Amino acid sequence: MHGFDANSYGDAFADVYDDWYQGISDVDLAVVELLDLAGGGPVLELGVGTGRIAVPLAEAGLADGVAVVGIDASEAMLARLAWRDPGRLVKTIHGDMRYDLPDGPFALVFAAYNTLFNLTDEGAQARCFADVRERLRPGGRFVVEAFVPDDPPRRGDTVTVRSLAADRVVLSVSVDDPDNQSAEGQFVELTEAEGVRLRPWSIRYSTPEQLDEYARAADLALELRWESFGRTVFDDESTRHVSVYRRRT
């Protein structure tokens, strides 16, 4: 998408993210599983956003001394996180997860729902696996939560209504290009009082098998795969997955 960069999504969605996507996954279950996988060690979240998971994770791990770090390219997202985290339990880094990852070592690095797919440059997701591996301590884990692409994948243009009210309508406009494994679009918000607000997004999706290949190339081994946090069984009918990769000791 022309003009779209690393902070475009966060800056466009920061004010509505918690409202629009509060049910995208079970935060309580995610916190339990992530703390268990971290084993008391330090944690890094890629694309931490508003702190939807990072803040309750830090709160739950406080008694055990679990340090939580979050990186995000959007200052608007980090401002929302700061509002949610007045005690500054989460250490935040304003930076691009392609270039600015902290050194670590971390016991756990995770990318919450579809965050990894925000890396749209050719090869960027594979490089992310390699970069994460270098920041994991031996035996450390990289957790990726994402959707499973449709088979066959979607193709073409779509316009739908996301929400409709007497004073506001939100349209979803998207373009799917399976040849490049990409999808991008705009949420177009129309109000009589405020006019038009555009909220752009762009992703490059990968299948679980492709993610496994990126992991193998980075010397990370697939340890666990669930449909969702809570260890729901992943099978051929699953539309999403939580994949746990481990750095070899």
Query: Tell me: the pLDDT tens digits for 170-228?
Result: 999 999 999 999 999 999 999 988 899 999 999 999 999 999 999 999 999 999 999 99
Cα–Cα nearest to 30, from 245, 247, 244: 244
Question: What integer best gives the mean pLDDT of the chain?
Answer: 95
- Please tell me the distance from the alpha carbon of residue 121 to that of residue 213, in angstroms, as a whole number: 17
Is the confidence at residue 1, as pLDDT, over 90?
no
- Mean pLDDT, range 126-149, rounded to an integer: 98
Q: What is the third-level CATH fold of 156-203?
A: N-terminal domain of TfIIb (2.20.25)
pLDDT at 187: 97
Cα–Cα nearest to 200, from 10, 50, 9: 9
- Mean pLDDT, range 127-132, rounded to an integer: 98
Query: What are the residue ranges of CATH 2.20.25.570 in the chain?
Result: 156-203
- DSSP type of residue 229: T
pLDDT at 5: 83
Contact 180, 169 (CB under 8 A): no
pLDDT at 233: 97
Q: Which two tokens stand for residue 74?
A: 């959007």
Q: What's the distance, CA 176 to chain centroid?
A: 20
Query: What are the residue ranges of CATH 3.40.50.150 in the chain?
Result: 8-149+205-247
- Name the CATH architecture for the domain at 8-149+205-247: 3-Layer(aba) Sandwich (3.40)
